Structure 1
Amino acid sequence: MYSVKWDNKTGGIKLLPSGDGDVASMVRPVFYEELDILGFGKYWDYPKSEEPLLWSVGRSYFYNGEKVAQASGGGFYEYPKLHIFKEGLSIEPVDVDKMVKENIEIIESVAHTTLDFISEMYVKYKNKIDKTVVAFSGGKDSTVLLDLVQRVLSPDEYIVVFNDTTMELSPTYEFIEKIKKKYSNLMFLVSRYEKPAIEMWREVGVPSKIHRWCCTIYKTVPTIKLIQELIKKETPKILLYDGIRGDESLTRAKLSHISRGKHLQQINIHPIIDWNSAMVYLYIFMRDLPLNKLYRYGIVRVGCAVCPFESYWKEAILWLKFRDEIKPYLEVIEKYARDRRCKGSELKEFVKEGVWKKRVGNKGLNLADKVNITEEKDKATVISINTPNENWFEWIKTLGKVVVGNPSGYIEIKGIQYPFKWQKTGNNIKIKFTSKIKNDDLFYIKNVSYKSAYCIRCGTCEIECPSSAIKIERDKIRIDEKKCKNCYRCLTFIDRGCIVADSYRESKVVKSMNNIARYRTFGMRKEWLEEFFSDTDKWWIENKLGPIQKISMRLWLTDSEILEVKGNKIILSKTGEPLREIGASDLFTWAIIWTNLVRNSPLIEWYVQRIPWGRAYNREELIQTLGEEYRVRTRKNAILELVQLFDYTPLGRELKIGVPVKRGKTTTAIEKIGLTNESDLKNLHQLAVLYSLYRYSEKTSRYHFTVSELYEASAIEGPYKLFGIPKTLLEKILIGLEELYGKNWINVELVADLDNINLNPTKNSMDVLKLYAGVEYD
């Protein structure tokens, strides 16, 4: 919207109406408190002034437009390193009054445009809603937002809500009280979960980028319940103003000024979505607004004290300034590290490097699964639950009509009755279904069992229910059968249908890298696949391949899941049948083959996991990268097989997974480019991406995950690891998939800080294959 340049006359910054600025829009003021904390006093003289002294972009420090220092490293247990480019400085504070005068014309113009927008939105929606809410976090953006709103709306037209996660730092709580006094005429409410967050950390396990239970339980649930109680409606209509800004993240940058909320009937208004950080600070200085002290200490974004999404920089400041406040959380993380068998320096490294942020499942939590589900020879399904937290017979009502006797009963799901017998022994319960259960229905019954076992009445299911059929009473969950629509939302909003059960699920182990060169020195070839697909029965007797080539092709077909071993026979698999009809000339077939090979071929798994995108690798590099645990001959054979695979199939040049680099007729290197632009993506059908997502969900046993985790180095599969698709392009593909095929296949939430991918747990990758083929196979 506006660019930024240094203003040496004031020691500050100046907004430009054009894009000619030379300063990043994320620039922030630096105060003496930050300099004190980091130890800059050893090198510079500076006053302890109220005004800022320097400016920072990233970790670089600027004085009068000149880069004078940079910080690197740092985190929990580690001090950042300072690199001083100019010693002996005598620093003068920024002339804030003069800087404001230099920028006031632009700031007032932007502010008045924003004020008009706030007013227009209120007038447009006020007769269609129950309440207008201003979200306040204690950060600089919500401070600006609140000041703007109170300038155009009267106090009786809205309420202000601060969501207290109980994980905020002390300056934020002090700042909240200051804001309450400043705007004492406003109705200021606080939403808060009844149990302190640190207790839930100990009970549920450390939150992670995968297990984001804290956001739901400590942000979403209490806020929605507060509004429901205030308005006395189960599904109130809300107009919500928030301080989201586009330059904070790529996800937020895609938001427009208006979006729909995930829960309630909520319209979200983002008045300052186009403001950059410089504009926010200049507005604060212009209006002489209070500023949360955390910014003076060098923290860039206000929020929970310890968070799996936080930067090393913030963790360094926390360690230096707020060690006592974060100690309880670090103790939980350290215990988790010890339970993962970390000792001594390993333990500190585990915490500092953020290994805890990648937690998936119950590894290190020392918890046995409370639910055991088995299928007996007579096709009966037996469910055993050890010390369930909630009544299984109550949760099963979400599936349909339930009749319970002693010791038998039945559940009717979509017109099908499933009789069962049950037995209670002490605190344990066993339910035996005496007839075969459809796979879809069994999935829901399993999730009912997980919910019963692990439910802690956190309130998430209550707000997820679209018909308000779930109520948390003093000591139990109650399902209102008259209200329940049997939509299964409470069973499918997260894997296992329960936040706690999902956090406790058994961790998956990735297979080892054995038999790296198994394809007899040959790569698969397109012409071989064409011949095989032309007559899959005749091929075994008559083909153009030599004996060794035939063995190689059989191995490639098996690892591609086109063939399967059944008894003493090798037959065309359920995957192979539709791929045969689709054909070897369709790039979709090769995308599926590649996706399946990663799962089954140690060589392809190595290439996907160990070879980064974006450069060329000669044969010798690839051979060396395989590692000395393999003999030289084995490594050479493996790379020969890989090179031939890319040379003779569309996986190389067309899908750009490994583009052959030629010298004459000889392939001397492989360039791992990937599908990095929209033109390249024309070669990859959207359903191939959806197939890879379902494969990922099947591998991880999770149907709910995030876009961000697919770009983690530890991601085992997914569209980025497989095809090199950049995050921004993948998000477009995901939105396109939802629009084209519907939420029954994929539901994405790319709003604010959310980047959730929700797949349908009753579907699988084979269903995606059938969808593309347009043919149903048994």
Structure 2
Amino acid sequence: MYSVKWDRKTRGIKLIKSGDGEIPPIVRPVFYEELDILGFGRFWDYPKVDEPLLWNVGRYYYYNGEKVAKVSGGGFYEAPKLELFKKDLALESVDIDGMIIENEEIMDSVVHTTLDFISSVYENYMNKVDMVVVAFSGGKDSTVLLDLVQRILAPDEYIVVFNDTTMELPPTYEFIEKEIKHRYPNLNLFVAKYEKPAIEMWKKIGIPSRVHRWCCTVYKTVPTIKLIREIVGKEYPQVLIYDGVRGDESQKRAKLSRVSKGKHLQQINVHPIIEWNSAMVYLYTFIRDLPLNKLYRFGVARVGCAVCPFESQWKETILWSKFRDEVKPYLDLIEEYAKNRKCKSNEIKDFINAGAWKKRIGGRVLGVKDKVNIIENKNKNVVINIDNPNENWFEWVKTLGKVVVGNPSGFIEIKGAQYPFKWQRNTDGLKITFLSEINRDVLLYIKNVSYKTAYCVKCGTCEIECPSSAISIDSGKIRIDELKCTNCHRCLMFVDRGCVVADSFKISMVVKSMGSLTRYKTFGMRKEWLEEFFLDPEKWWSENSLGSVQKESMKLWLTDAEIVKVKDNKRVLSEVGCLLMSIGVHDLFTWAVIWTNLSKNSPLIGWYIQKLPWGRIYTRNELMEALGDEYRARTKRNAITELIQLLDNTPLGAELKIGIPIKKGKTTTAIEKKGLSAEDTSRIQPLAILYTLYRYAERVNRYHFTVSELYEESAPEGPYKLFGIQKSTLEAVLRGLEERYGKDWINVELVADLDNINLNPKRKSLDILKLYRGVWND
């Protein structure tokens, strides 16, 4: 990757072969339209010309290599703040011709290498695929890509697909009609477009968020896959897709090879400009005199939808200033959402500007109720009630296996096992009662069939997820072709609850630990106590070295750590306890699991991880003060004693850095809540982190979440709350986990603004312990 430095002769930029560039390669040109929007005209003189006037890197503006201004803040309802480092400037435009000459040698080399790559890939795959597609968004990268491809391939050798989400802004439509079609008149341009406008599905599914990204699937993936299938005339065509993905957009994209496999179809993705930086894209645009979407002249860094949960505040400023009519319908729905969250009228704009709507999780305030009630009885029977189902349960259940339905009974046959049920319709819904015990995996499938039945809006997502094209919509109803269906269950497992609508409407419950804050009789668990317990867990209850009060304390610690459980009115070793006993007390993995379990079950530990920030030293008095006035002084003193003893006498304190004891003589006078650094984290088994993620998923009842939400104040637990692991470190661990253990355990999407974590709902946190112990058997 080439570096970038300022070219003061041309007031432009210059690529250099070394890594000693002056500026990040994400630099972009700034035009007079952007300066007008920001209000720079009050302070500077500048010509209104086609050429750029200065350059932007992040929030900073540079003129002729000198930092001259900074912009901060902004939003739909908030003007950005200007900070001028140079006043009374008279700007001259960038000398484009001179800048092109300065970069000619490097750009010629880069371009010819890229053209050769495009040609070689085509020659390699032309007889192996049904179609060659160029993905086009109307942005700078896809425009450069299109120009490169058309220099190599004839118009009849490929098609161009533009995905119209119905949320594109007017300049994008204008750019395609007036610029692209005019410059490339022989282009085979197709538009992939969902049949319903986006605003309609916002109302049906709920406003999108960084957690509920249903809009990308419904409005991008679904129409594109359907269009390609229709053009090729095959249900599962082989397609070669050239796209404009670039490595400097995210760390994950930077690791992509130039050719990779796609998720849908038999798809091969080709990334010709993966190694190009933003500076190179703009230089190529100027060299070739390519048209530029007018949105870039307004200051938009990336072309996209009118309103998006991943938008920056700066882009929202531009949208409100230039495209108020286009964004207003979506903002009205967001305002309605804010009102449902009990925001006062004078708080709604602040709510939107702060991006609080972008963090929506579940449907608690969407004004919907859960339409599926699942009761798991003690006799192992399962009863499912579905209120006002949108679809036919008996159709969706065909995805599980052979289905025989009578009246009022039937059975499902899955891998040779039969699951009989009774069913009953009433005016408001359907009741299904299973008559025999159902194993964990099958029950999950049945639950998801029920959610799909209740919430299905025929969005098309399941159709394109199906690898055998067994799902279709006929006369407004879902149809499952039993001859094509392989019962792979992919349509049931691609998202929580198996349905994007059910996932969006889900009411996530986080149950807080209840009980006494000080319950451990003024003692903390000790490493040697646990070691003694593990020597003989059955005998320990009658023979141990502890005093009576210490034993009572240890019993409670063992219970809250889920090492023991109550069975037949007595405490016995749990499955978690058995596994930890075999791992041993000298392994930090054991203590990471114990701390994770305590965070949920112990009010004291729950308070510690939720209320006390990382990176601080707390004296005993400060810890007591932090408990507030809710408790008596004696209660607080006992609780802090229990906490300090736990941290002082186990690896949790000094080794896991959860609370490093600070001593005066032999007395611990304070603790440092330091947290794990990147180096410290490398010493911890990554499966301990995966365990915390599955515990988080089980607690919030969601197996699809984001890295960002783990760092929010409201997160009940997770790697940051539990161990203070910084975001960049966690992302590196997540990538390593996916690479080592595969997507069947964890799949992460750390691309551009995405930071999604996808866990397997069929797995449990207990399975992580088995995996670590080496006794996992799928």
- Cα 1:626–1:135 change in 2 (3 A) is farther
In structure 2, the residue matched to 1:32 is 32
Instruction: Trace 1:677-756 onto structure 2 (pairs within 5 A).
Output: 677=678, 679-748=679-748, 755-756=755-756
Superposed CA offset, 1:34-63 (max 9, x none) = 111111111111111111112111111112
In structure 1, the residue matched to 2:109 is 109
Range with greater deviation from structure 2 (18-27 or 391-400): 18-27
Contact 2:249-2:751 at 8 Å conserved across structures: no
Superposed CA offset, 1:47-83 (max 9, x none) = 1111111211111111222222111111121111111
- Cα 1:50–1:774 change in 2 (3 A) is closer
- Cα 1:297–1:749 change in 2 (3 A) is closer
SS at match of 1:561: coil
- Cα 1:603–1:253 change in 2 (3 A) is farther
- Cα 1:247–1:643 change in 2 (3 A) is farther
TM-score by length of 1: 0.94
- Cα 1:14–1:745 change in 2 (3 A) is closer
CA distance in 1: counterparts of 2:717 and 2:441, whole angstroms? 25
Contact 2:513-2:600 at 8 Å conserved across structures: no
Superposed CA offset, 1:550-601 (max 9, x none) = 3332222222111223464333223212212222112221111011111122
SS at match of 1:88: coil
- Cα 1:750–1:77 change in 2 (3 A) is closer
Contact 2:144-2:281 at 8 Å conserved across structures: yes
CA distance in 1: counterparts of 2:714 and 2:101, whole angstroms? 50
Letter in 1 for 2:467: P
In structure 1, the residue matched to 2:424 is 423
Contact 2:465-2:490 at 8 Å conserved across structures: yes
Letter in 2 for 1:764: K
CA distance in 2: counterparts of 1:233 and 1:660, whole angstroms? 66
Q: Which runs of 5+ in 2 are unaligned?
A: none
In structure 2, the residue matched to 1:445 is 446
Superposition RMSD in Å: 2.4
Letter in 2 for 1:81: K
In structure 1, the residue matched to 2:14 is 14
- Cα 1:352–1:515 change in 2 (3 A) is farther
In structure 2, the residue matched to 1:50 is 50
CA distance in 1: counterparts of 2:376 and 2:48, whole angstroms? 72
- Cα 1:673–1:667 change in 2 (3 A) is same
In structure 2, the residue matched to 1:349 is 350
Letter in 1 for 2:600: R
Range with greater deviation from structure 2 (411-420 or 137-146): 411-420
SS at match of 2:523: coil
CA distance in 1: counterparts of 2:574 and 2:244, whole angstroms? 53
- Cα 1:469–1:507 change in 2 (3 A) is same
In structure 1, the residue matched to 2:587 is 586
Instruction: Trace 1:453-472 onto structure 2 (pairs within 5 A).
Output: 453-472=454-473
> How far has the Cα of 1:634 moved from its partner?
4.5
Letter in 1 for 2:536: D
Contact 1:130-1:238 at 8 Å conserved across structures: yes
- Cα 1:672–1:269 change in 2 (3 A) is farther
CA distance in 1: counterparts of 2:122 and 2:668, whole angstroms? 65
Letter in 1 for 2:258: H
Instruction: Trace 1:614-629 onto structure 2 (pairs within 5 A).
Output: 614=615, 616-617=617-618, 619=620, 622-629=623-630
Superposed CA offset, 1:501-532 (max 9, x none) = 11111221352787444434433221111112
> How far has the Cα of 1:357 moved from its partner?
1.2
CA distance in 2: counterparts of 1:418 and 1:712, whole angstroms? 43
CA distance in 1: counterparts of 2:431 and 2:265, whole angstroms? 37
In structure 1, the residue matched to 2:141 is 141
In structure 2, the residue matched to 1:269 is 270
SS at match of 1:575: helix
Contact 1:385-1:429 at 8 Å conserved across structures: yes
CA distance in 1: counterparts of 2:134 and 2:239, whole angstroms? 10
Instruction: Trace 1:76-87 onto structure 2 (pairs within 5 A).
Output: 76-87=76-87
CA distance in 1: counterparts of 2:382 and 2:73, whole angstroms? 54
Letter in 1 for 2:31: F
Superposed CA offset, 1:214-235 (max 9, x none) = 1110111111111111111111
CA distance in 1: counterparts of 2:676 and 2:157, whole angstroms? 50
After superposing on structure 2, the runs of 4+ consecutive aligned residues of structure 1 that deviate more than 6 Å are none
SS at match of 1:5: strand
Instruction: Trace 1:161-560 onto structure 2 (pairs within 5 A).
Output: 161-177=161-177, 178-376=179-377, 379-511=380-512, 515-560=516-561
> How far has the Cα of 1:335 moved from its partner?
0.5
Residue correspondences, number: 776
CA distance in 2: counterparts of 1:629 and 1:309, whole angstroms? 40
In structure 1, the residue matched to 2:605 is 604
> How far has the Cα of 1:725 moved from its partner?
4.0
CA distance in 2: counterparts of 1:6 and 1:223, whole angstroms? 41
CA distance in 1: counterparts of 2:477 and 2:616, whole angstroms? 58
> How far has the Cα of 1:745 moved from its partner?
3.3
Letter in 2 for 1:21: G
CA distance in 1: counterparts of 2:136 and 2:737, whole angstroms? 34
Range with greater deviation from structure 2 (318-327 or 679-688): 679-688
Range with greater deviation from structure 2 (371-380 or 346-355): 371-380
SS at match of 1:556: helix
Q: Which runs of 5+ in 1 are unaligned?
A: none
Contact 2:310-2:753 at 8 Å conserved across structures: no
CA distance in 2: counterparts of 1:316 and 1:640, whole angstroms? 52
> How far has the Cα of 1:190 moved from its partner?
0.8
SS at match of 1:657: coil
> How far has the Cα of 1:448 moved from its partner?
0.8
Contact 1:514-1:602 at 8 Å conserved across structures: yes
SS at match of 1:127: coil
> How far has the Cα of 1:26 moved from its partner?
1.3
CA distance in 2: counterparts of 1:632 and 1:489, whole angstroms? 56
CA distance in 2: counterparts of 1:397 and 1:74, whole angstroms? 51
Range with greater deviation from structure 2 (440-449 or 616-625): 616-625
Q: Identity rate of aligned residues, in percent? A: 70
Superposed CA offset, 1:119-175 (max 9, x none) = 121112222211111111111111111111111222121111111111111111111
> How far has the Cα of 1:698 moved from its partner?
1.0
SS at match of 2:767: helix
> How far has the Cα of 1:363 moved from its partner?
1.0
CA distance in 1: counterparts of 2:37 and 2:748, whole angstroms? 42
- Cα 1:69–1:120 change in 2 (3 A) is same
Contact 1:244-1:752 at 8 Å conserved across structures: no
CA distance in 2: counterparts of 1:244 and 1:685, whole angstroms? 33
CA distance in 2: counterparts of 1:332 and 1:326, whole angstroms? 10
